[in-house]
Structure formats: C-alpha cells, structure tokens
Amino acid sequence: MALLTPSDGTLPAEARGWGWRQRLALRACFEWNPYPGIATRERLTQAISILEPRVQIWFQNERSRQLRQHRRESWPWPGRCGPQEGRQKRTTVTRSQTALLLRAFEKDRFPGIAAREELARETGLPEYRIQIWFQNRRARHPGQPGRAPVQVGGLCIAAPVGCHPAPSWVDFAHTGECGTGLPAPHVPCAPGALPQGAFVSQGAWAVTVLKNSQASSAEGISQPSPASRYFP
DNA sequence: CGACTAACGTAATCAACCC
DNA sequence: GGGTTGATTACGTTAGTCG
C-alpha cells in the first residue's frame, strides 16, 4: 500500500506494499505458525515495526491466500497445528467508554479511520479495538441497513498511533535486532507450543541471510512453495 | 487489463467477564 | 450458570499498484 510506503514514493517495485524484509519475517513466522497468538504478533510488531492489527490482517489475508491455493491444488490445509497460543486479553470497556461509542455508533455505524482515530483518542482505547467494537455492534444490533462507502483513500495507516516515524524496515535491515526481536526466546509461550527454537533459527536465518545478500537473492529465498514445507 | 495485496466488511464461533 | 460482549476465524469484496 502506498500509504505504508515512504512519501517520496521511491520504494523499489519488489517492495510494493511493505518492505521485503518485513514480508520475509512475516512469511517465516507464518510457515511456523499460521495462527499466531497475541504474544507472537506482538513480537513481530516489535521486530518489523508493523502495528499489531496490521500483522493480524496480514495473517488473515495470507491464510486466505494459502487456503485458496491449497484448494486449487487439492492439497489439504494443515490448519492449526499444536496448541493454541493465547488470545489478546479481553479489553474492558467502561460504561463511559461504551456511552461514547454508542453515541458515535448512532451517528455513524461505519466510521472511517479518521473517526475511529478520534474515538480512540476520546476513549483511550486502541483504534483496532474500536473497529472490533463496531463490527460486533453492527452484527448484534442490526439497525438501518446500508453501509458507508469504504474509506480507503486518505488513510493514515502508516502511523495510526499519532503518525510515528515511517516503518523502520530500513532499520530492520541494518540493525540486526530483528533476529532476536522476532522470536523472543524467553517469551512465555504455552508449553508444547510450536517449535519455538526452530522458529527462532528460521527467523534469524532469514534475517541473517538477507543482511548479507541482495534483494534479488532474497526473492529467491522467499519464493519456495510454502506448501512443500507442510508436506515434506 | 489482469494479477496481486492491504484494508475492510459480514457471519459464525469461542471465551472471558459480570450479574 | 447464563447472558453479554470482546476476540478470532473464514470468506468475500473493494481499491490501489504494477507489469
């Protein structure tokens, strides 16, 4: 998405959307666990400087793509493997926050990003939680039909939290922090969870390799058929 | 123009929390 | 214990970008 890219528009073609290093980290994680819990998503968030909700959206879209491809090629989708990771802790919405949201809901059932940001500021809740609240509210309190036009243009997705600096995929590329940041070795993951060590090494490997190689070779790394790894 | 992808929608469901 | 509601999932659609 252009809105996630530097404003000068000089991002290389292969990095359309997010940086290829970010994609690589996401793919590496996806291969080990297509259903990451909040802990893994948070680690990814820190490692690749993409906000957690965006990471979640990416995994949703990626699972969708993989499922489609598996169906096309008549391969069974492995689905969840291993114990489930923990969910996002349930957000407690206070009465005053609910009242605020209800007022906004009555005015507009389909708030755009700007309105959600404003509500986030007013309530102190994260913008993505606001979005979830509206989704649940619409589903459970169907009122007048009809939907607001999708607000895509004019988004400030690059920096929903007060427009912080541009995604640091360049830093990610040069600091080498990502290898350790991606899969925190001491994360309190559920016992018997996915092969964390393997995940660590894979993520670190990916990053290490990328640090010492060119984008062209990186493309080759990120390309192997993902399905082949599910069915060795 | 078609392919790709981020963002966003619904519907169904799981699960935590409150009364 | 049941109702409410936040979180997550699958799946579909839209719109922007690129070759």
CA of A194 to C1' of C10 (A): 22
A160: nearest Cα among A126, A195, A203? A126
Question: Residue A90 CB closer than 7 angstroms to strand C?
Answer: yes
- Helix boundaries (H) for chain A: 20-32, 38-48, 52-72, 95-107, 113-123, 127-140, 169-175, 178-181, 196-211, 215-222, 227-230
Nucleotides of C under 7 A from a protein CB: 5-12, 14-19
Q: What is the pTM of this model?
A: 0.68
pLDDT, position A83:
54
Q: Which nucleotide is nearest to A112 if distance is taken from CA to C1'?
A: B8
Question: Residue A88 CB closer than 7 angstroms to strand C?
Answer: yes
CA of A32 to C1' of B8 (A): 27
Residue type, A150: V
CA of A184 to C1' of B3 (A): 36
Show me where the domains of chain A are located: 16-72, 95-140
Nucleotides of B under 7 A from a protein CB: 5-13, 15-18
Q: How far is the C-alpha of A105 from the C-alpha of A130, rounded, in Å?
A: 11
pLDDT, position A82:
53
pLDDT, position A18:
66
CA of A76 to C1' of B10 (A): 26
pLDDT, position A72:
79
Closest alpha carbon to C1' of B6, residue:
A1
pLDDT, position A17:
53
Q: Does domain A95-140 bear CATH number 1.10.10.60?
A: yes
Same fold, A16-72 and A95-140: yes
Question: pLDDT 10s digit of each residue in chain A, 232 long?
Answer: 333 333 333 333 333 456 778 888 888 888 888 899 898 898 888 888 888 999 999 999 999 988 888 887 777 777 776 556 888 899 989 989 999 999 999 888 999 998 999 999 999 999 999 999 999 999 988 775 545 444 433 333 333 333 333 333 333 333 333 333 444 433 333 333 333 433 444 444 344 333 333 333 333 333 333 333 333 3
Question: Residue A94 CB closer than 7 angstroms to strand C?
Answer: no
Q: Which CATH architecture group holds A16-72?
A: Orthogonal Bundle (1.10)
CA of A132 to C1' of C4 (A): 15
Long-range contacts of A59-64 (CB under 8 A, 24+ apart): A59/A26, A59/A30, A59/A34, A59/A35, A62/A26, A62/A27, A62/A30, A62/A34, A63/A34, A63/A35
Distances from the Cα of A194 to the Cα of A3, A36, A68, A202, angstroms: 34, 10, 24, 13
- Token digits for A211? 């640090």
User: Which residues does A163 contact at the CB level (< 8 Å), separation at least 6?
Assistant: A156
Residue type, A205: W
- Token digits for A31? 């291969």
